Amino acid sequence: MRSKILVLLFVSLSLSSFSQLKGVVLGLNDTKREPLIGAKLKLTNSNIGVVTNEEGTFELILPKELPDTLIITAYGYNSDTIIVDKKDRYISLEITLFSDKMIPEVVIQMRRDTHSISRLKTLHVEELTSGELRKAACCNLSESFETNASVDVNITDAVSGAKKIQMMGLDGVYTQIQLENIPYLRGLESSFGLNSVPGTWIESIQITKGTGNVVNGYESMAGLVNLEVKKPAEMERFFFNFYTNAFGREEVNLNAGHILNEKWSTGWFAHASSMFGEMDQNEDGFRDTPKGSNLAFMNRWAYQGKKMESQFGVNAYLDLKNGGQTGFSRSTNDGKYGVQIDSKHIDAFAKTGFFLKKPQTSIGVVYNFKYQTVDAKFGIREFSGEEKRGYVNAIYDGYFGTTDHKIKAGINGVYIDMKQHLDSLISDRVEIVPGIFGEYTFTGARLTTVLGARLDYHNLFEFQFSPRLHAKYTLTEKTDLRFTSGKGWRVPNYMIDNISLLANSKTWIAPIDLTPEISWNIGGSLVQEFRLFEEKATITFDYYHTLFENQLIVDRDFNSNSVIFKNLEGSSYSNSFQTEFSFSVIKNLEFRLAYKFLDVKAEYAGIMQQQVMIPKQRGFFNVGYITRNKRWEYNATLSVFGESRLPGLTATDAVEYSEIYPMINAQITHVYKKWEIYLGGENLSNFKQKNAIIDADNPFGNEFDATRIWGPIMGINIYAGVRYSIKRKKV
């Protein structure tokens, strides 16, 4: 009955739609015709305008008063005008602009928002560009969300330096992370992989809340984070970055892109970082952050032909960490508590697309092969893991009738051979998961709907069916309403997913029968653009509810001597509400305010309780200013984290909560020709969690615990760096 009501609602909304002009803007030069990104389209009388997206397409809500003159402009191309009349309502245009090489040079600059929510996409997609990442030190992926309110990054323990992301109050394992639509940071990478993705490699990050498209897989339960790495033909010809901070960390990044000919291009990426300092600010005898080094390398190639295009490459890293008590060394056996984590990774990837004779139809095939090992030691407790993973995804992209009715369909397969050993516990398994999927997209004047489903067969857990529905309704030309719902599932890896819990003396009790985690997510958002004091402003509201049908529960309260892993016996859910307001006070001065409320609970021993280590509330404020000559950039971020429930030290302990605390980060950047010099500070309020390690004087005793971490354990960090880039000339 509910589904019938939902269908009737969508039909009624579609029938009440108003007129819309859609199309694509192409640029023609001496070599080829290609979509133009960032082309401006503006109606002169009504003063309504849009900018084309990464595919060169646009959607423009037409006013009631017509005719009007539509002006199309793009950097490097001659402008054009079109008279839009009432007869042009609901039509689709293909606009071609010609190169301006034959006329005197005119430079037109367009400032792209570094943080935005795409109004063209059906799903709620928040995009962070490389400009947004430059506002912070952004040395690796775990530091790329400092100026973002949707994604939280938390320290998992006080000895390993590991970090995990959270979305909508749920652990990062429920967020699907992809590297250009290829599954990434899965399996053995889930706990330590964030530190091994250099931020200087990233071109943009897309954050999708709720279940994603079925094309991307079945594991998107709380959201999806897609990383776009710099493209060989568009990236800098040469890029250099050096970073150092007060804690003894130094880092070097080198990127280079080369266009070999009209069809081939290649990009090279190299990264090296080391932690030399032995910091113990709280004087508990333990390193506040582990010493160690990280080396990473990527080489990617791109081919662009008339009938096909292809990208392929290789990515590898080596990450070594040495933590624990001060003075600990791997080479000596002096009885000190030490933490050793060695991660090795290599993967090869390829994406091939074939253009079919029918316009706007294609077949794409994605491949990925990965080998990963993790060896870890926490005191006398040892973990070893090995993973071999293969992934292939074949997608048909086309339409029937008109391009208002698009379809995607395909097949994919996942192969996982994973071995995990922890003390006397063993978790070895081979997973083979073939799947099929289909997705239909209807694009109306005001309503866009995406209906998808996938069917996967797991060799251990048989069939899993995942339906998903997404919709976007344009209430007005400045107001978008979105809705999403669907199912996601994953097979948990209780060892590597919770490896930070080895930093205590508790015994692990393994789950008796491991079963897939299954959740249903429903939610939506409202995005409103308006003018405030003649400047652009945006306000966003979103709410998402995640209900677990099954979940692997980690019980740290029931027994003071054990960590118990078990399947969900009662209920578990997450409610996430967030509102965000962004406003440009004056030209080049912008700020964002956000508030987030999280209600994340699960049933433990028959009692519904708030999940541990999850702040119930968070406030966020970010301000950025760029001088008129673009020589100086200033950015500051304040985050205030609310109370979170702490795990009990004993089974009879009263409920204990963390403190409310602030985090202040700021950075100043000076730009001079090809050089950028930046100076910044983290945790400028100098807040530090007290007693981060329990019974630090007796690390091999029964009371030792370094996992009750809810805030920063290090104080003010001052950093500095320099960037040098030779950019590619645009013609």
Residues 182 and 52 in one domain: no
How many structural domains are present in the chain? Answer: 2
Residue 158 has pLDDT above 60, yes or no: yes
Which candidate, 459, 539, 537, places its Cα nearest to that of 491? 459
Q: 47 and 187: one domain?
A: no
In this predicted structure, what is the pLDDT of residue 730?
Answer: 55
pLDDT of 58 reads 87
Q: Where a domain ends, among 63, 98, 133?
A: 98
- Same domain membership, residue 190 and residue 79: no
Give a yes or no: residue 103 inside a domain.
no
- Distance CA(280)–CA(287), nearest Å, equals 5
Beta strands in 607-694 (DSSP E): 607-610, 617-626, 632-641, 645-646, 656-657, 661-672, 675-682
- pLDDT at residue 685 tops 60: yes
Omega cis (within 30) before 232:
no
Does residue 12 form part of some domain? no
Please state, in angstroms and rounded to a whole number, the distance separating the CA atoms of residues 578 and 527: 12
Mean pLDDT, all residues of the chain? 89
Contacts of residue 505, defined as CB under 8 A and 6 or more positions apart, other chains included, come to 700, 701, 702, 703, 704, 705
> 557 pLDDT band (50/70/90 cuts)?
confident
Check pLDDT > 70 for residue 88.
no
Q: Which helix (H) or strand (E) holds 6?
A: helix 2-15
Residues 167-172, mean pLDDT to the nearest whole number: 93
Q: Which one of 98, 125, 158 terminates a domain?
A: 98
Same domain, 25 and 157: no
pLDDT per residue over 222-242, tens digit each?
Answer: 999 999 999 999 899 999 999
Where is average pLDDT lowest: 80-89, 147-156, 656-665? 80-89
Is the pLDDT reported for residue 460 higher than 70? yes
Q: Looking at residue 62, what DSSP letter applies? A: P
- Reported as a single tens digit per residue, the pLDDT across 251-284 is 999 999 999 998 999 999 999 999 988 899 989 9
Residue predicted with more confidence, 329 or 100: 329
In a domain? residue 9: no
**720: domain range?**
115-726
Which residues, 6 or more positions from 517, have their beta carbon under 8 angstroms from its beta carbon? Answer: 174, 221, 489, 490, 491, 492, 548, 550, 551, 552
| Residues 122, 75 share a domain | no
Residue 167 lies in a domain: yes
The pair phi, psi for residue 185, each rounded to 5°, is 55, 45
> Is there a contact between 538 and 582 (Cβ–Cβ < 8 Å)?
yes
* Percent of the chain residues topping a pLDDT of 70: 93
Do 157 and 49 lie in one domain? The reply is no
- Rounded CA-CA distance 116/229 in Å is 18
Where does a domain end: 66, 98, 130? 98
Q: Name the one residue in this structure whose structure tokens are 């059906």.
A: 122
Does residue 6 carry a pLDDT above 60? no
Q: Give long-range contacts, CB 8 A cutoff, 24+ apart: 100-105.
A: 100/76, 101/29, 101/30, 101/731, 103/78
4-18, 305-319, 397-411, 613-627, range with the lowest pLDDT: 4-18
The pLDDT score that the predictor gives to residue 5 is: 39
Residue 466 pLDDT greater than 80, yes or no:
yes
Using the structure block, give the residue that is written with the tokens 């990442």: 133
Same domain, 130 and 23: no
Q: Which residue has the higher pLDDT, 533 or 576?
A: 576
List Cα–Cα distances, 111 to 115, 442, 686, 731, in angstroms. Answer: 12, 32, 35, 19
CATH classification of the domain holding 87: 2.60.40.10
Contact (Cβ atoms closer than 8 angstroms) between residue 458 and residue 431: yes
CB contact set of 350 (below 8 Å; sequence gap of 6+): 310, 311, 312, 313, 366, 367, 368
Question: For the segment 468-494, what is each residue's pLDDT rounded down to a tens digit?
Answer: 999 999 999 899 999 999 999 999 999
Report, as an integer, the average pLDDT of 496-501.
Answer: 95
Q: Is the pLDDT of residue 550 over 90?
A: yes
412 and 327 co-located in one domain? yes
At residue 607 the predicted structure's pLDDT band, cuts being 50, 70 and 90, is confident
Residue 43's pLDDT is 87
258 & 330 share domain: yes
> In terms of pLDDT, which residue wins out, 22 or 552?
552
**Sign of the C-alpha dihedral computed for residues 597, 138, 211 and 417 taken in this order:** negative
Please answer whether residues 211 and 485 qualify as being in contact, where contact means their C-beta atoms are separated by less than 8 angstroms. yes
What's the CA gap between 429 and 417, in Å, rounded?
6
Q: Are residue 336 and residue 480 in the same domain, yes or no?
A: yes
Residue 495 lies in a domain: yes
Higher pLDDT, 559 or 614: 614
Name the amino acid, one letter, at 487.
Answer: K
Q: Assess whether 50 and 172 both reside in one domain.
A: no
CA distances from 258 to 76, 85, 355 (A): 22, 46, 25
Residue 261 included in any domain: yes
Q: What is the pLDDT confidence band of residue 8, given thresholds at 50, 70 and 90?
A: very low
pLDDT in tens, 688-723: 999 999 999 999 999 999 999 999 999 999 999 999
Residue 87 and residue 133 share a domain: no
Give the domain CATH number at 697: 2.40.170.20
Sequence-ordered list of residues with C-beta below 8 angstroms from that of 104, at least 6 positions apart, any chain: none
E-strand stretches of 423-513: 425-443, 447-458, 462-476, 479-490, 507-509
731 assigned to some structural domain: no
The answer to whether residue 104 sits within a structural domain is no
Q: Are the C-beta atoms of 218 and 466 separated by less than 8 Å?
A: yes
